Amino acid sequence: MIEVAMIAIAILVITLSLGVPLPYCFGAALMVMTLIGGVTMKGMMLWGFGQLANPVLLAIPLFVLAGTIMSQSGIAASLLRFINVFIGHIRGGLGVVAAVSCAVIGAISGSGLTGIAAIGPLLIPEMEKRGYPREYATALIANSSILGLLIPPSVTMIVYGWVTDTSILACFLATLGPGLMIMVSFSVINLIMSRKFNLVLDEKPSFSELSSEVAKRGFNAFPALLMPIIILGGIYGGIMTPTEAAAVSVIYAIPVGFLIYKGLKWDNFFHAGKEAATAVGAIMLMILFSMILSQMFVYESIPQQLVNGIFSITENKILLLILINILLFLVGMVVNDITAIILIAPLLLPLMNAIGVSPVQFAAIMGVNTAMGGVTPPYASILYLGARIGNVKVTKVIPPAMKLILFGYVPVVFLTSLWPDLSLFLPRLFGYDVSP
Amino acid sequence: SADTLKLSHVRPQGATIDKELHTFADNVSEATSGDVQIKLFPASALGDYTTVQERVSFGAIDMAVQPPATAADRRMQISVFPYLAGSWEQAHAIYGPGGIIRDTMAKLYDDQDIVMLAAYPVYFGGISLNVNNPHPASLEPNGIKVRVPAIKSFQLTGEALGYIPSPIPFSEAFTAVQTGVVNGIIGSGAEGYYASFRDVTKTYIPANTHFEVWYMLISRDVFSGLSQEDQNAMKEQAAAFEATRWETAAEDQKANEALLAKQGTQVVELSDEELAAMSKKVRAEVWPAILDDIGHDWAEPILDEVRQAEK
Amino acid sequence: MDRFAKYLLTALICLVALGQFVQVLTRYVFQVPLMGLEETMLYPTLWLYILGAVNASRENSHIRANVLEIFIKTRRGHTLLAITGEVISLIVALWLLFWAWDYTRYAWRVWRESPTLYIPTFYSDVALLAGLVLMVLYTLWHLLRHVQSLREGEPS
Ligand code: NA
Ligand code: NA
């Protein structure tokens, strides 16, 4: 049966490369399992559709909508200006502002696209004006945008917690450490790279200028800065579940966008609603069929066979973790983050149990790897969106993006796998069960 | 040729039921000279019990041991009616072989093309709280928010006992209790709370809210596809599986309460009078409301027989 | 059509957000039990997912990996690739449609109900069938468009 599963995966990859929409690629894999493998499709629609009914998943469209509203409303711009007071004037500071702003926006949005969508249009031209190459600025912001998936809340961690039955709140905290580390490493790389650029700098403000600017911009950014406090405070403070927090962030962002920042108009509000619903509809359909495929694998005991097969090659924990990272890198090249988690997490979780890796650490491993998939070609949705927003050719963005991935991302990915405390420290601190 | 039947159950590998089902599977294999093999899928790996029951009904999953799902037939709520049984003897009389609830459920399952092979008594339900309840037997509103399963009788029972019921999906229940979105849970018992919620169970109130019973189900198509001898052998083994459980269930419940106490949970002691008061209030307030939904004409005769069994 | 999609989808998503918001209010602020809201919200939620997916088909904005497209240089090649993709999509979508039909027939026969308000779940179950029918039609439409542009030698 494992052979049929392999064929199904092969068909999945082939149809993907042909440009077939993702949900149908999974449909094609289901056809293989049913028509060649004889696995029944009876009851699978019932089961899969029932899975979609879980309110946990509803957090995805709501977090995506909150992010879209934010990027339309001017909330992001005020955050950006606020952060810029502190770091804007140092050499290479604007690049650091990009990374830090994406992290702060990450604490409001659950998606990896919000950062680039919200601050790309503002910061890319500004960075270019100050002497950063346009393609570099685009690559930096697109790469930092991924922090939206690593700084909680995060749709990938919601999906991971849901398919593996792990505490979503613990998973949120698991990727926070690696996420902050990536933010720092991008900032450092940027400071080093900036030495080569011919940059125009702000004059260093005097202390009194600085404090009056902090007060002014801080006041302006206050409603935006309140948002992560409401969301994360609400979740961890026991007021609401992640799904409810996502809804509250939408309800909060609408009046703030319409009345305070005024960037939100009826026109782009309806546009944002449609965009979020459409993005999520495509994702949900894909979740439906990938869940069914995953269920067929469980039905045929593929995960256990896979573990046995892998153990016949090696039982060395470190070697296995490195192999898994390579596998996840390859998967991330061709599929989207949520899909990768639905398909891979249930397959590999038994293996993680067997080698004593906590499901919470595995959440972080899956989280950083699949988030990175958003910027690794050939299928690099976040990078492509960045290229569109920055108005540069994809082929030009790829070289600087690869540098950032190689030196900023990959080391953190390996650290996450090999140093459990990086991901487990915070969940443990907050009292979550992190035992293997 | 050997048939391998897929059996779904709701507890993790290594749990009591998992071990008992392994024994059952071995016995079936032996009794049918290897004709019938049973492969277990623990921890709801094939989906939650609601969809599993439907998939058993059209033969996509062969077997299951799990609580009844009420979506396809609301009358199935009769099995989890609150305060239906007050003691293990009464429970055995109505859920055990020949019992009125068991026979009723067998008929309802039959309507869904499912053969019920056995009943599996699990425990009397209780209330798990992550806070102290200074008056655990009080029936007055206490302001404590509890997660209840999305079944009407549980929601009404929670309210009748003075709590604020809040329907939160099971997958979020643990986190919700831990962060304080809700302060406790109604709908499970000592075993369930110890297995999944022991870290957030400060207080356990064995209020006997309902009698939790699971049923061993097999798809009718699958069952009638077996030879007559194999069918009989399975029925015999299922009966043995059930009989063993009726002997050990009460002890098992005590053991789980002891486990909770051992790890620091305050296990409240309720007197017979206090339990009777709870039962009286819930029966008076909740039963009529559910009967409106599932039909007085259908349910009254059944409840009459239940009352008979109490004497 | 675009206008209609915009209003409908925004209304649905705001409705479910509002439902969750009310849930928080009643539990945390007013501290009263609120039965049945959760299960009521399921209906707009599932329709939101399915209609969102239908709109992705209409706008042709489903997630695609398009790895081969990078290696193909001619317009004609791109159109041929697109046609291959749409033909595969159509076959798969029809097969999925068959199973959605099977599921809908089952849902019609069993007529399940939500746990506390006993609202028939058929009203959300049928969304899958409706969605796949529309998606098949849109796929067919995109396919015809590509074939026509191949005939006319224009980029599609
Ligand atoms: Na985030
Ligand atoms: Na990628």
pLDDT tens-digit readout, A210-243: 888 888 888 888 888 888 888 889 988 888 988 8
Q: What percent of chain A has pLDDT over 70?
A: 100
> Which is more confidently placed, A166 or B67?
B67
> pLDDT-derived band of residue A136, with 50, 70 and 90 as boundaries?
very high
Write out chain B residues lying below 8 Å of C34, CB-based.
Answer: 166
Nearest Cα of chain B lies from the Cα of A39 at a distance, in angstroms, of 10
Q: How far apart are CA C152 and CA C48, in angstroms?
A: 38
> What's the confidence (pLDDT) of residue C141?
96
DSSP code at position B41: E
Distance A96 CA to ligand 1 centre (A): 18
Mean pLDDT (chain A, rounded): 89
Which residues of chain C lie closer than 8 angstroms to B54, CB-CB?
Answer: 110
Q: Which residues of A touch B (CB under 8 A)?
A: 40, 42-44, 46-47, 50-51, 54-56, 161-162, 165, 167-169, 235-243, 295, 298-299, 301, 431-433
Residues B65-84: tens digit of each pLDDT: 999 999 889 999 999 999 99
Q: Which of C32, C39, C115 sits opposite B70 (nearest CB)?
A: C115
How many beta carbons lie within 10 A of that of residue B271, not counting itself? 9
- Sort out which chain A residues have CB atoms less than 8 A from B169's CB and list them: 54-56
Supply the pLDDT for residue C154. Answer: 61
pLDDT at B102 over 90: yes
Of A286-300, A409-423, B245-259, the range with the lowest mean pLDDT is A286-300
Residues on chain B touching A167 (C-beta within 8 angstroms): 174-175, 178
Look at B198 and A76; give whichever has higher pLDDT. B198
Q: What is the mean pLDDT of residues C27-46?
A: 87
φ, ψ of residue B211 in degrees (nearest 5): -100, 115
Which residues from chain C sit within 8 angstroms of residue A281, using beta carbons?
Answer: 48-56
Of A401, B145, A214, A155, which is closest to residue C23 (Cα–Cα)? B145
Does pLDDT of A363 surpass 50?
Answer: yes
Q: How far apart are CA B127 and CA B202, in angstroms?
A: 11
B204 strand-pairing partners: B128, B267
Cβ within 8 Å, pair C33-B155: yes
Predicted confidence at residue B93, as pLDDT, reads 96
Is C33's CB within 8 Å of B71's CB?
Answer: no
Sort out which chain C residues have CB atoms less than 8 A from A20's CB and list them. Answer: 64, 85, 88-89, 92
The whole-number average pLDDT for the span A333-361 is 87
Gap between the Cα atoms of B35 and B31, Å rounded: 9
Average confidence score pLDDT of chain B: 93
* Domain residue ranges of chain A, discontinuous segments joined by +: 40-430
Residue A305 pLDDT greater than 80, yes or no: yes
Which candidate, C141, C93, C71, C101, places its Cα nearest to that of A21?
C93
Residue B13 has pLDDT above 50, yes or no: yes
User: Quick one: pLDDT at residue A280?
Assistant: 85
Taking the C-alpha atoms of residue B40 and residue A198, their distance in angstroms, rounded to an integer, is 67
DSSP output for A134-169: HHHHHHHHHHHHTHHHHSSS-HHHHHHHHHHT--HH
Per-residue pLDDT tens over the stretch A261-285:
888 899 989 998 998 899 888 888 9
Residue A398 has pLDDT above 60, yes or no: yes
Residues in chain B within 8 Å Cβ distance of C115: 70-71, 150-152
**pLDDT above 50 (res B250):** yes
> Inter-chain contact A241–B172, Cβ cutoff 8 Å?
yes
Range B14-22 average pLDDT: 94
Phi-psi region of B83 (alpha: psi -120 to 50; beta: other; left: phi over 0): left
Helices and strands (H, E) in chain B, number of each type: 11, 10
Contact B126, B204 (CB under 8 A): yes
User: What ligand has the least distance to the C-alpha of A110?
Assistant: 1
Give kind and range of the element (H or E) at residue A239: none
A336, pLDDT greater than 80: no
Average pLDDT over residues A36-61: 90
Tell me the per-residue pLDDT of B276-303, one tens digit each, with 9 for 90 and over: 999 999 999 999 999 999 999 999 999 9
Is A239 in Cβ contact with B60 (below 8 Å)? no
Q: Do B152 and B293 touch, CB atoms closer than 8 A?
A: yes
Q: CB-CB: which of A165, A241, A433 is closest to B181?
A: A241
Distance CA B205, CA B196 (A): 16
| Tens-digit pLDDT profile for residues B177-200 | 988 999 999 999 999 999 889 889
- B65 alpha carbon to ligand 1 midpoint, in Å? 40
Chain C partners (3+ C-beta pairs within 8 A): A, B
Residue C155 has pLDDT above 70, yes or no: no
Residue B273: per-residue pLDDT: 95
| DSSP string of A56-125, one letter each residue | HHHHHHHHHHHHHHHHHHTHHHHHHHHHHHHHTTSTTHHHHHHHHHHHHHHTT-SSSSHHHHHHHHHHHH
Q: What residue in C sits closest to A376 (Cα-Cα)?
A: C65
Distance A330 CA to ligand 2 centre (A): 8
Average pLDDT on A43-54 reads: 91
Q: How far is C131 from chain A (nearest CA, A)?
A: 10
A77-86, A353-362, B202-211, B239-248, range with the lowest pLDDT:
A77-86
Q: Which of A19, A28, A285 sits opposite C53 (nearest CB)?
A: A285
Query: What value of ipTM does the predicted structure carry?
Result: 0.89
Chain C CB contacts of A384 below 8 Å: none
Which of C31, C39, C112 lies closest to B72 in CB terms?
A: C112
Pairing of strands B266-267, B164-166: unpaired
Contacts of A46 in chain B (CB under 8 A): 51, 54-55
A167 and B174 within 8 Å at the Cβ level: the answer is yes
Query: What is the pLDDT at residue C35?
Result: 78
Chain C nearest C-alpha distance from A202 (Å): 41
C 76-105: CB under 8 A from B:
none
| Axis crossing angle, helix A134-145 with helix A168-194, rounded to the nearest 10 | 160
Ligand showing the shortest atom-to-Cα distance for residue A171:
1
Q: Nearest chain A Cα to C50, which residue?
A: A281
The whole-number pLDDT of residue A421 equals 94
Residue in the structure block whose two tokens are 């998967």 = A331
The reported pLDDT for the residue numbered B1 is 45
C87-124 pLDDT tens trace:
999 999 999 999 999 999 999 999 999 988 999 999 99
pLDDT tens digits, residue range C37-92? 889 999 999 999 999 999 999 998 877 767 777 778 888 888 999 999 999 999 99
Q: Which residue has the higher pLDDT, A405 or A306?
A: A405
More reliable by pLDDT, A66 or A174: A174
- B243, B249, B251, B254: CA torsion to nearest 10: 180
Summarize the confidence of residues B240-259 as an average pLDDT. Answer: 96
Q: Least CB-CB distance to B151: which of C27, C110, C115? A: C115
Nearest ligand for residue A331 CA? 2
Q: Within B82-169, where are the H helices?
A: 88-95, 100-111, 152-160
How many CB pairs below 8 Å do chains B and C form together?
45
Q: Starting from the CA of residue A63, give the closest ligand.
A: 1
Question: In whole angstroms, how far apart are CA B202 and each of A249, B70, B126?
Answer: 32, 31, 13
